[in-house]
Structure 1
Amino acid sequence: EEITYLSQAKDLHKISLKDLSVAAAKKLSGGTTVSATMFASYKAGIQVFATGGIGGVHRDARESFDVSTDLEALGSVPITVVCAGAKAILDLPATLEYLETKGVLVVGYKTDEFPAFYYGRSGLKLEHSVTTPGELAQIIRERDALQINKAILVGNPPPENMALEKEKVEQLIEAALHEAKAQNIKGKDVTPFLLDYLAKNSQGETLETNIALVKNNAHVGSLIVKALMAAKI
């Protein structure tokens, strides 16, 4: 019933970490951002969760100061997040630098580069990478044993057969950013607008890739949890 309601309701909200108390007080419905989902998962005792891509530093951040709360949450909530990198509409180098400043461990899963959401390789090298869920499980256990209260971000590239060409994606993003500026789209509305623009102007290709990478991230997340549980038996 709840899923049906969320798919049909009109009065839905984008709920970030800062909005959770208001949403609870006013009994609002909506979708939670990575930061809010991290917090809720941690409070519920969930160690690992998968998402599509995290929020990050926007490409016009020097003017707008638009930096996602996801990055702050990653720097303070000790959970493991499996993602296909940050959303490609963002400034990926700046996002990685911000994560470094916050002391967030970024680990590539079967890759030595930070994934770029729609396309697998961003050209941004990662310091750490693993090839098995067991390695990630051991890193998580050591993080917890050391009581490091920060997230571990697992970068998992999209499936190769669903990854899009970088040049094509970048052209679409530039056009989307131009249109957002022309329409004076700001704040919380920017990311949904850009993603919707990309989906419509790629004839649905970006949406199909988004769905595929979310499923892939969920699969990898389940393997990590299985490895964590195996060590407890």
Structure 2
Amino acid sequence: MITLNPEVHEALQNGQPVVALESTIISHGMPYPQNVQTAREVEAIIRDQGAIPATIAILNGDIKVGLSDEELELLGSSKDVMKVSIRDLPFVTAMKRHGATTVASTMRIAHQAGIRVFVTGGLGGVHRGAETTFDVSADLTEFTLSDVTVISAGVKSILDIGLTLEKLETLGVPVIGYGTSDFPAFYSRISGFKVPLQLDSPSDIANVMKHKWDLGLTGGISVANPIPLEDEIPASRIDPHIEQALSEAAEKGIKGKDVTPFLLAKISEITSGQSLKSNIALVKNNALLGAQIAVAYAKLH
């Protein structure tokens, strides 16, 4: 039920480096046309490093691994694209719907396709107030099931970062800070929490990947890559805006998978677009590192 783009299929057959990309960030994370433009630029960054990009989405019920330029445009401009996590996959495929994959569903599809590196913006995790709402992203449990290394700028700042890191520890997920001992928080380079592990080169990360799976330890690896310094919004500046957006979401009764798109859009509005610029910058930065890791990992095989 998974259709590989011919370029992606050939690369996987030949052992070339491939980098998976999610599609929720296109359909629900950024406005049009910046979303499509960013998707194209991210794919170009990956190609420039010698890897093949594989954006994952569902179009008319078909799971696609690697999209054409026309399919990217459709995904970014259509209003009927459903946000698809693991639980939604059978519904969207059976009903022949368009779907944009979250971190969790992208991980699963990448794993099934044989892609070992996946780039995103920020991970989902334990939401603030989860002790009463039980709102915990499926992204975390997916790390126990899919053999994929996920490069992100940490978890989204709107989450409870401390509890998210505790949950990842409980699940046995290696969390590696790339060139940092401080866990990044999406828009901000420092969250106030330390990373359990630190590595400073793509080749070292690739080596950890190989050893983890050679040891028979199933599941993924989280690589936390701080946003570039020049694009950072320090926590002291962004946190009040996050609190404002969270309050408004609560007042409007926005829950579940609608929360993150609402908050990202609201924070962009409050910051006059600065948060959107930072979001784009961190995704590109993650794509650069992800491609370098994929190239290093391919060399080990």
What TM bracket, shorter-length normalisation?
over 0.9
Give the one of 187, 196, 204 matched to 1:118: 187
> Which residues of 2 match residues 21-100 of structure 1 at below 5 A?
21-100=90-169
Provide the rounded CA distance (Å) in 2 between the counterparts of 1:159 and 1:126. 18
Give the one of 247, 264, 273 matched to 1:178: 247
Provide the rounded CA distance (Å) in 2 between the counterparts of 1:172 and 1:31. 27
For structure 2, which runs of at least 5 residues remain unmatched after alignment? 1-69
> Which residues of 2 match residues 1-233 of structure 1 at below 5 A?
1-232=70-301
Provide the rounded CA distance (Å) in 1 between the counterparts of 2:225 and 2:79. 33
Deviation at 1:220, TM superposition (A): 0.2
Provide the rounded CA distance (Å) in 1 between the counterparts of 2:288 and 2:138. 26
Deviation at 1:101, TM superposition (A): 0.7
CA deviations 1:86-120 (Å, max 9, x no partner) are 00000000000010111101001001121100001
CA contact (8 A) 2:189 2:234 kept: no
Residue 233 of structure 2 aligns with an amino acid whose one-letter code is L
CA contact (8 A) 2:151 2:225 kept: yes
Provide the rounded CA distance (Å) in 2 between the counterparts of 1:7 and 1:128. 36
TM-score, with length taken from structure 2: 0.76
CA contact (8 A) 1:75 1:99 kept: no
Give me the CA root mean square deviation.
0.9
TM-score, with length taken from structure 1: 0.97
CA deviations 1:114-167 (Å, max 9, x no partner) are 110000111211221001111101100101101111110000000110011211
Provide the rounded CA distance (Å) in 2 between the counterparts of 1:3 and 1:205. 24
Deviation at 1:229, TM superposition (A): 1.8
CA contact (8 A) 2:122 2:186 kept: yes
Residue 131 of structure 1 aligns with an amino acid whose one-letter code is D
Give aligned-pair identity as a percent.
45
Q: When the two structures are aligned, how many residues end up with a matched partner?
A: 232
Provide the rounded CA distance (Å) in 1 between the counterparts of 2:250 and 2:187. 22
For structure 1, which runs of at least 5 residues remain unmatched after alignment? none
Residue 98 of structure 2 aligns with an amino acid whose one-letter code is S
